[in-house]
Chains A and B, each alone.
Chain A
């Protein structure tokens, strides 16, 4: 983890509720796809955790969805604005587990951190399939990015537009070597229940600190209480337990 000042290079809407935020600054603490940053916003006490969508030397790309006051406020911030950011938080996805034909399962804004993962998997020569689920067709902010990487992409639309499959779990292919999933908890649970193979799932939670100090984001896993921010947000399938 590193704390630093980052300059907004871009902050633009991709859909009605999803924005792409590019921050220029020290990216050296970001070591794995699926990690997140924690951004201090003026007038708000707690930082806002947002997962990393892509990173290159000196530039980190985030995609965020308006969910409350913090993200609403973020949409109004202009390029050139400086932000106090904790970067390189969380453990991220383990690319080495992928096998040759990994499957990526994204739910809504949860598709964002899968992008950097897809990029790395493609760079390693893997055959990558992605199933990305959205509530409505106009909420799809990223399927084109995955296609551009050479992934085979299926988009599911919860309202059934155009006869598309409704849920990610309606479009699960067979024959994948490992799966990586990120999305809202009901989706993760459905994925967990309907997949036999090994996988990693990334969780989200309201956080206090984002770096493991406050125990504010704990989920009870098979292996005991785990901090989403520090022990996660990515967990191996076999570690996961669900609340009753």
Chain B
């Protein structure tokens, strides 16, 4: 029988497939479609200290092989997530969940992480220092190694749970950011967030998105993401979570060979609501086809 399980920062995952933050809400929409307990885990919607209404619309655009989004971290705020969303989630998901956190100051990140640290359902804290769609927060922390390190240090000080730094590809050298996070105490890194992008509406002759720019995701970014995962795997000793355009079991295998311990799936969930369930179901056959018995054995296998 194919060995699908992996270990992520001391927590066993039944398989490496993790719906990515922002594409899976707090789980309810998908739990109505399939039993989401088949997932390794999932990373819930990026949560901030205070509620955020998000950006004006339009927030979404088509792109060749993918899409742009400029949602802008719309979320009900950490108090509401703890009082409303997590109790609802308990009814349909029995595994540790990955809490995705964003902020606009080092203190914001620490405050929100401390709140979520106290929740037994939360297995990992994924710290988003890479959102391209907000101003004065998110990605501005993820493009400066010292700012990224400051966020990670502050979060590590308020939690005993594994801290995952979610990195942006919108930098000259992502390995510099990964190393800065590792040195600051991050237990893992996840990459890539979306690529900063734009579309022009030809009818209006103006940027299509109200935010002007948005983040590109989907299959178009997969080779870029794979390259960055490969580079970061060589640069750090902590586990790497690979994401960016993953849409099939074969994509998962490529990501793991490049160095990913686990693999997040984002945009695919939006166009194929059962994408993660189907990818997990397809993994054993894909492994057999390529002579893989255990996924643990192939992590970073493409190196050397």
- Enumerate chain A interface residues (CB-CB to B < 8 A): 1, 3, 40, 44-47, 69-70, 86, 205-209, 211-220, 224-225, 230, 243
A-B CB contacts (within 8 Å), total count = 94
- At the interface, yes or no: B33 with Cβ under 8 Å from chain A? yes
Interface residues of B in 53-111 (CB under 8 A from A): 53-54, 56-67, 69, 71, 74
Tell me which of B115-123, B190-198, B269-277 binds A. B269-277
- Enumerate chain B interface residues (CB-CB to A < 8 A): 22-25, 29-30, 32-33, 45, 53-54, 56-67, 69, 71, 74, 218-219, 267, 269-271, 273-274
CB neighbours (8 Å) of B270 from chain A are 46, 208-209, 213-214, 216
Query: What are 11 A-to-B residue pairs whose CB atoms are below 8 Å?
Result: A45-B65, A46-B60, A208-B60, A208-B69, A208-B270, A209-B270, A213-B30, A213-B273, A217-B60, A218-B74, A225-B53
Q: Is B29 in contact with A206, judged by CB distance below 8 angstroms? A: no
CB neighbours (8 Å) of A1 from chain B are 32-33, 273
Smallest Cβ-Cβ distance to B54: which chain A residue: A218
Smallest CB–CB gap between A165 and chain B, Å?
27
CA distance A215 to B54 in the complex (A): 9
Q: Is B269 in contact with A46, judged by CB distance below 8 angstroms? A: no
CB neighbours (8 Å) of B67 from chain A are 45-46, 208
Smallest CB–CB gap between A33 and chain B, Å?
22
With A45-B62, A213-B273 already in contact, 17 other A-B pairs whose C-beta atoms are closer than 8 Å: A45-B64, A45-B66, A46-B62, A46-B67, A46-B270, A86-B273, A206-B59, A208-B67, A208-B270, A209-B23, A214-B25, A214-B69, A215-B74, A216-B69, A217-B60, A219-B57, A224-B53
CA distance A230 to B274 in the complex (A): 18
CB neighbours (8 Å) of A86 from chain B are 273
Q: Is B57 in contact with A218, judged by CB distance below 8 angstroms? A: yes
CA distance A230 to B273 in the complex (A): 14
Q: Is B56 in contact with A225, judged by CB distance below 8 angstroms? A: no
Q: Is A217 in contact with B218, judged by CB distance below 8 angstroms? A: no
CA distance A207 to B53 in the complex (A): 17
In-complex Cβ contact of A40 among B60, B267, B271 (8 A): B271
CB neighbours (8 Å) of A69 from chain B are 62
CA distance A208 to B64 in the complex (A): 15
CB neighbours (8 Å) of B61 from chain A are 206
Q: Is A213 in contact with B62, judged by CB distance below 8 angstroms? A: no
CB neighbours (8 Å) of B58 from chain A are 205-206
CB neighbours (8 Å) of B45 from chain A are 215
Q: Is A213 in contact with B56, judged by CB distance below 8 angstroms? A: no
Chain A residues touching B, majority SS = loop
Q: Is A218 in contact with B32, judged by CB distance below 8 angstroms? A: no
Smallest CB–CB gap between B97 and chain A, Å?
15
CB neighbours (8 Å) of B62 from chain A are 44-46, 69-70
CB neighbours (8 Å) of A3 from chain B are 33, 273-274
Smallest Cβ-Cβ distance to A228: which chain B residue: B57
- Please name the 3 residue pairs, one residue from A and one from B, whose CB atoms are nearest each other, closest first: A209-B270, A216-B60, A206-B58
Smallest Cβ-Cβ distance to A214: which chain B residue: B270
Q: Is A209 in contact with B59, judged by CB distance below 8 angstroms? A: no
CA distance A208 to B57 in the complex (A): 12
In-complex Cβ contact of B23 among A45, A213, A219, A220 (8 A): A213
CA distance A230 to B29 in the complex (A): 10
CA distance A43 to B218 in the complex (A): 13
CA distance A45 to B61 in the complex (A): 10
Task: Given A205-B58, A206-B59, decide whether A212 and B271 contact each other with a Cβ distance below 8 A.
Answer: no
CB neighbours (8 Å) of A218 from chain B are 53-54, 57, 59, 71, 74
CA distance A101 to B160 in the complex (A): 63
Q: Is B273 in contact with A214, judged by CB distance below 8 angstroms? A: no
CA distance A215 to B74 in the complex (A): 7
Smallest Cβ-Cβ distance to A216: which chain B residue: B60
Q: Is A243 in contact with B56, judged by CB distance below 8 angstroms? A: yes
Smallest CB–CB gap between A192 and chain B, Å?
17
In-complex Cβ contact of B24 among A213, A217, A220 (8 A): A213
CB neighbours (8 Å) of A206 from chain B are 57-61
Pick from A45, A69, A207, A212 the residue with the most CB of B within 10 Å.
A45
Task: Given A206-B61, A208-B67, A217-B59, decide whether A45 and B271 contact each other with a Cβ distance below 8 A.
Answer: yes
Q: Is A45 in contact with B218, judged by CB distance below 8 angstroms? A: yes
Q: Is B25 in contact with A216, judged by CB distance below 8 angstroms? A: no
Smallest CB–CB gap between A227 and chain B, Å?
9
Smallest CB–CB gap between A125 and chain B, Å?
35
Smallest Cβ-Cβ distance to A70: which chain B residue: B62
CB neighbours (8 Å) of A205 from chain B are 57-58
